[in-house]
Amino acid sequence: MMVLAALIPALWGCSTQPMRDLRGMLKPSKGYYALHLGIQQFEDGVYPEAARSLQIALNMGLSADEQTDAHKYLAFIHCVSGREALCREEFRRALAGNPDFTLGPAESGHPVWGPVFASVKSGSQKAEVVQRGEPALQAGVHAYDDGDYAESAKRLQAAIDQGLAPKDSARAHKYLAFINCVSSREDLCHDEFRKALADDPSFNLAPAEAGHPIWGPIFQSVKAGR
């Protein structure tokens, strides 16, 4: 008994699937039994019943790992039922709860849901990379508004290097152009405006920005000669 008492804390901290199952049996979530009923029904091929049980489990309350499992099996059901959009949405929910979530080797090789999951996972990773520079972009804009151009330029370039969506990248280049223009570096100002237009061909200055006596004419010349 003393040995068992000593082992319980160690077992509780273990993150392997068997240990997670053991923890679930010792201290189940409210939706634990509905989840496992849904998984069993899925394996038995009764998909409508499985989907109902899995949704009930989610509504009742599950641990983070259990929620991922529920969304995974709901995705499987939607995929094999020809509902690809819903399949994708359930995979996105699984990844939102656990960005490291992946399928097992046998699951990932499934001809129906395997390619769908790979596509969703790839898109999720790309979105994460694209937005990684957002905090640096905001910091750069704030530094610009405060008149600290050296700090702003450093932050804006870091945001671009870390990765931004095209429109956000164009915005970063816009502020870098402003900084170079007011610092009498006209060639670099031209270059940053060109980069902004390359990232977002529809990019334009706001009316107040376009009327600026220094960078307004430079931007117009860059846009006209693009």
User: Which domains, from first to last, does the chain contain?
Assistant: 26-130 (1.25.40.10), 134-224 (1.25.40.10)
Stronger pLDDT, 86 or 47, i.e. the higher one: 47
At residue 119, the pLDDT reads 85
Stronger pLDDT, 208 or 128, i.e. the higher one: 208
Structure tokens of 12? 């509780």
Least confident of 20-29, 55-64, 144-153, 161-170: 20-29
pLDDT tens, position by position, 167-177 = 888 999 999 99
CA 209 → CA 202, 206, 220, 222, distances in Å? 16, 5, 11, 15
In degrees rounded to 5, what are phi and psi of residue 175?
Answer: -65, -35
Asked if 192 contacts 166 with a C-beta cutoff of 8 angstroms, the reply is no
Structure tokens of 204? 């334009």
At residue 133, the pLDDT reads 82
What percent of the chain lies above the pLDDT cut of 90? 55
